[in-house]
Amino acid sequence: MLRTQVAIVGGGPAGLLLSHLLHLQGIDSVVLERRSQDYVEQRVRAGVLEQGTVDLLHECGVGERLGREGEEHEGVFVQFDEERLRIPFQELTGRSITVYGQKQVVRDLNERRLADGGRLLHEVDDVAVHDIATDHPSVTFVHEGESQALEADFIAGCDGFHGVCREAIPADVRRVYERVYPFGWLGILAEVAPSTDELIYANNARGFALHSMRSPSISRFYLQCPPDEPIENWPDQQIWDELATRLDSPGWQLRQGPIFDKSVTPMRSFVAEPLRHGRLFLAGDSAHIVPPTGAKGLNLALADVDRLAEALADHYRTGTETGLDEYSAACLQRVWRVQHFSWWMTSLTHRFEGPDQDFDRRLQRSQFDYLRTSRAAATTLAENYVGLPLR
């Protein structure tokens, strides 16, 4: 049987960062990931990092490429029909965001863990966790055709929404809160320079649109659509025409280019409580999902593991259980704040169908006008978007 101090199920950004933070404290870990390393590094995911996330990655020594290639943004545009309003983050909060794709974060963490001799096992199947309510939990799995067992002091479930760790918590202990939205996002990546220097969140009568970016030559766009929309219903030119309509603003023009990635993502809010049972701790998407409107999923996951790594380090250093005992409640306080902000941004910017849709749209107009005329309202948006302090 293999042995480690912390078994980490899931080799995405949360699992990799946790492994790295533990390594810096002299704590051994093994990371188990069901996908290949190449697949994990190429997954198209979020690209907006909060100020606290950027600071954390620099502090733990994996921010060199982020510092070179990340694009710092000191504000964001919110648009209602053709009227565009800038929310100046730096002026209102003294902080900013950085555009740097999740796959770049994963690549940086992978390279650092491998350089440090980290144990990362990819393409692992049939993962199961055992004895989590005892002092000797373990994980069984199949790797390279061989059945193996990994004994640990603790298990960290960083294995995403469809992973096995959350389901290992007994049903009579676990409580789930969920909201499924009646729309999804059609997302594209295109080989074209961004048409804006900062992100644009647009509320149009035809639905929501977002203009983001990945680099000086790659742009990222989203369109509100039905959650089960077949991607075949959206030929490239129709996408560009719809983006041009929903993002239209006087004196502004949308650049177009070849589209090389298209997908439709349903939207939900999800929280499973508690984030700890016995020696098992949940982090990231295994415990919570937020709608992508507030760009919070990756940031929230990394905030979880930052807190977990600190609690584990305190335990191994002093024997205290305080940080471990407080982990779930402390994380959930941040989770629900982020859930509220993500819901609020979604309700501000999306079209809601139904008998109350005209009433809802008037409320959205009122909220937009309030952002335009109230520094306090704009500061609230800016403060939540750039991210609350990690600790």
Q: Tell me the pLDDT tens digit for each residue of 159-187.
A: 999 999 999 999 999 999 999 999 999 99
* Residue 78: inside a domain: no
The CATH number of the domain holding residue 123 is 3.50.50.60
Q: What is the mean pLDDT of residues 284-300?
A: 96
pLDDT digits (tens, 9 = 90+) for 329-344: 999 999 999 999 999 9
Please indicate, yes or no, whether residues 211 and 325 belong to a single structural domain of this protein.
no
Q: Is residue 87 part of a domain?
A: no
Please indicate, yes or no, whether residues 66 and 132 belong to a single structural domain of this protein: yes
Q: Which residue has the tokens 């899931």?
A: 10
Q: CA-to-CA distance for 274 and 63, rounded, in angstroms?
A: 32
Cβ contact 48:72 at 8 Å: no
Query: Could you tell me the two tokens for 228?
Result: 């089960």
223-282 pLDDT per residue, tens: 999 999 999 999 999 999 999 999 999 999 999 999 999 999 999 999 999 999 999 999
Q: What pLDDT is recorded for position 391?
A: 75
Cis preceding-peptide flag for 274 (omega within 30 of 0): yes
Q: Quick check: 106 pLDDT over 80? A: yes
* Together in a domain, 141 and 205: no
Same domain, 63 and 12: yes
% the chain with pLDDT above 90: 95
Q: What is the CATH number of the domain that holds 370?
A: 3.30.9.10
Q: How far apart are CA 334 and CA 230, in angstroms?
A: 35
Residue 80 covered by a domain: no
For residue 19 the two structure tokens come to: 């492994």
Question: Pick from 379, 180, 157, 193: which is nearest to 286 by CA?
Answer: 157
pLDDT at 47: 83
Alpha helices in 137-230 (DSSP H): 165-168
Query: What pTM does this model have?
Result: 0.96
192 and 166 in a common domain: no
Both 202 and 314 in one domain: the answer is: no
Does some domain include residue 79?
Answer: no
Active-site residue numbers? 73, 201, 292, 296, 385
- What is the reported pLDDT for 157? 98
Quote the pLDDT of residue 57: 98
Are 390 and 306 contacting, i.e. CB atoms less than 8 angstroms apart?
yes
Q: Which residues contact 184 (CB under 8 A, 6 or more apart)?
A: 224, 225, 226, 227, 228, 229, 264, 265, 266, 267
Give residue 34's pLDDT band: very low, low, confident or very high (50, 70, 90).
very high
Domain that holds residue 187: 181-267+352-386
CA angle, 334 then 336 then 342, to 5°: 105
341 with 359, same domain: the answer is no
The answer as to whether 101 is a domain residue is: yes
Whether residue 214 is predicted with pLDDT greater than 80 in this model: the reply is yes
Total domains present in the chain:
2
The strands making up 146-151's β-sheet, listed across from edge to edge, are: 2-3, 146-151, 138-143, 124-130
Nearest to 246 by CA among 202, 199, 213, 292: 202
Please identify which residue in the block is written with the tokens 């080989």: 191
pLDDT mean across residues, the chain:
96
Q: Looking at residue 208, what DSSP letter applies? A: E
pLDDT number for residue 381 = 98
What span, in angstroms and rounded, lies between the C-alpha atoms of 43 and 59? 25
Query: What is the number of residues in the chain?
Result: 391
pLDDT computed for residue 44 by the predictor: 64
Q: Which two three-digit tokens encode residue 108? A: 């940086």
CB 28 within 8 A of CB 115: no
Give the confidence band of 42 by pLDDT, cuts at 50, 70, 90: confident
Tokens 């999306």 identify what position?
A: 350
For residues 296-300, give the mean pLDDT.
96
CB atoms within 10 A of CB 369: 14
d(CA 118, CA 16): 10
Give yes or no: residues 311 and 363 share one domain: no
What does the alpha-carbon distance between residue 130 and residue 132 come to, in Å, rounded to a whole number? Answer: 6
Asked whether residue 89 is domain-assigned, the answer is no
pLDDT attached to residue 277: 98
Q: Write down the pLDDT at residue 142.
A: 98
